[in-house]
């Protein structure tokens, strides 16, 4: 018990010091280009910034859908040369990053356009980090503030409303050799420009729309209930939560609802602003490691895990969850703080059900110690969660997630 208490004191002290330290970092948000058809404005922005040759990082699925055709036509018209890396995998690997970096170097590029969901954006961001730090491996940049050098300009064009990667200081990498998935966090990873074009999300399949939307909700909730919230991150998380509750079923049921699509993109962006400063928590720590172990899609993992972790936090998260219940417009009149918090969790479960997201993820008992150990390492001491978990706590929650 003494060791556990000392460890928790260490975590809270570390988080307290970090809360002060981050005030001295650069938190400038990306310049926004937004609205239906706004991706067509990007080539002129690129040209105006003096970039005559760019690397476009995307994936084969988006290339097959011809979503980038308008961008390519605009770049050609603006006289900007481009080379495409479309080998990004759903969980971008170190090899993906190195291949993209090499293509950038071979073609004398001076900027990077990240086009796609979280995977192409993460791949592009870490490739840019490797360009800035050619003598530092991805593994050595793992963790917080390990890059610390100006990157090539990154233009981020999200095609899903979920990751918020277009405004975050984080990028997630998969290492197939160890089956690990981990984050790099540094303000230099934040894109300089973000293009929020709802037309790019219209063709998303319903299951991608639902899981990425719940990913954004997870970002907002984890940031909001943590101990490193600021006035600005709280406001962003509240607005994102409200917009997601109001729009996620609309876009799931009618993907061509441009206004709802635009609202979800804005919500995802706001949730990204919230968690890039206030951090996430154990939902992400577990989700990253399910992704590393099994290739579980990140949005799906977050959606399934979220209610289990919120229930574990219990009364330590009741106050902020009760506030989110009010913000989301739930029927909370006459309810106590605890009842409001539990109603919010119940509504998250209900949303998952309406979005055809399963209650559990397949997890093998033999893998639980490894998943728990890695999630513990990711979450502690950095994540300012309402209640600190030890490895046994994590094992218990993981078993519930896997219905074991």
Contacts for 378 with CB less than 8 Å, ≥ 6 apart = 182, 183, 284, 285, 288, 289
CA distances from 21 to 14, 18, 102, 287 (A): 10, 5, 35, 27
pLDDT at 1: 41
Domain ranges, ordered by start, for the chain: 27-201, 207-401
User: Between 234 and 4, whose confidence is greater?
Assistant: 234
Separation in Å, CA 117 to CA 50, 89, 90, 364, 388: 26, 11, 9, 28, 31
Instruction: Flag whether pLDDT at 2 surpasses 70.
Output: no
Spatial separation of the C-alpha atoms in residues 117 and 27, rounded to whole Å: 23
Quote the pLDDT of residue 181: 85
The pLDDT of 251-264, averaged and rounded, is 97
Q: Using one digit for the tens of pLDDT, what is the confidence trace for 324-335?
A: 999 999 999 999
Residue that wins the pLDDT comparison between 177 and 128 = 128
How confident is the model at residue 87, as a pLDDT?
97
CATH number for domain 27-201, candidates 2.40.50.100, 3.40.50.1970, 3.30.365.10, 3.40.718.10: 3.40.50.1970
Q: Which fold has domain 207-401?
A: Dehydroquinate synthase-like, alpha domain (1.20.1090)
**Any idea which of 40-44, 138-142, 178-182, 190-194 has the lowest mean pLDDT?**
178-182
Q: CA 124 to CA 106: how far, in whole Å?
A: 16
Note the helical H segments in 25-68.
42-48, 60-64
286-297 confidence digits (pLDDT tens): 999 999 899 999
Domains 27-201 and 207-401 share a fold: no
**pLDDT tens per residue, range 334-376:** 999 999 999 999 999 999 999 999 999 999 999 999 999 999 9
Q: How many Å apart are CA 161 and CA 357, to the nearest integer?
A: 17
């Amino acid at each position: 018990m003494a060791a556990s208490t000392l460890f928790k004191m260490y975590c809270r002290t570390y988080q307290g010091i970090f809360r002060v330290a981050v005030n001295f970092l650069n938190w400038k948000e990306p310049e926004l280009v937004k609205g239906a058809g706004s991706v067509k404005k990007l080539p002129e922005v690129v040209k105006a910034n003096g970039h005559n040759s760019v690397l476009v990082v995307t994936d084969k699925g988006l290339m097959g859908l011809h979503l980038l055709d308008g961008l390519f036509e605009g770049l050609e018209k603006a006289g900007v040369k481009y080379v495409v890396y479309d080998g990004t995998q759903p969980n971008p690997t170190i090899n993906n990053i190195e291949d993209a970096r090499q293509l950038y170097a071979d073609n004398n590029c001076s900027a990077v356009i990240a086009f796609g969901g979280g995977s192409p954006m993460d791949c592009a961001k870490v490739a840019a980090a490797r360009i800035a730090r050619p003598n530092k491996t991805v593994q050595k940049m793992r963790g917080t503030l390990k890059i610390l050098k100006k990157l090539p300009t990154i233009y981020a064009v999200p095609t899903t409303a979920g990751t918020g990667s277009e405004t975050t200081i984080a990028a997630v990498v998969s290492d197939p050799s160890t089956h690990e998935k981990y984050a790099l966090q540094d303000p230099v990873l934040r894109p300089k420009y973000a293009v929020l074009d709802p037309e790019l999300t219209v063709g998303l399949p319903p299951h991608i729309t639902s899981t990425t939307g719940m990913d954004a909700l997870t970002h907002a909730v984890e940031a909001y209930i943590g101990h490193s919230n600021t006035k600005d991150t709280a406001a962003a998380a509240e607005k994102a939560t409200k917009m997601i509750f109001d729009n996620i079923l609309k876009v799931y049921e009618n993907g061509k609802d441009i206004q709802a699509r635009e609202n979800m993109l804005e919500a995802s962006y706001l949730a990204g602003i919230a968690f890039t400063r206030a951090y996430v928590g154990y939902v992400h720590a577990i989700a990253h490691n399910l992704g590393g172990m099994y290739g579980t899609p990140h949005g799906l993992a977050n959606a399934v895990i979220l209610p289990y972790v919120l229930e574990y936090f219990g009364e330590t998260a009741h106050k902020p969850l009760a506030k989110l219940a009010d913000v989301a417009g739930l029927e909370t009149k006459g309810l106590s703080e605890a009842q409001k918090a539990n109603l919010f969790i119940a509504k998250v479960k209900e949303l998952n059900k309406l979005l055809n997201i399963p209650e559990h993820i397949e997890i093998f008992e033999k893998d639980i110690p490894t998943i728990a150990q890695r999630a513990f390492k990711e979450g502690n001491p950095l994540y300012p969660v309402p209640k600190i978990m030890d490895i046994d706590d994590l094992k218990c929650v993981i078993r519930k997630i896997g219905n074991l």
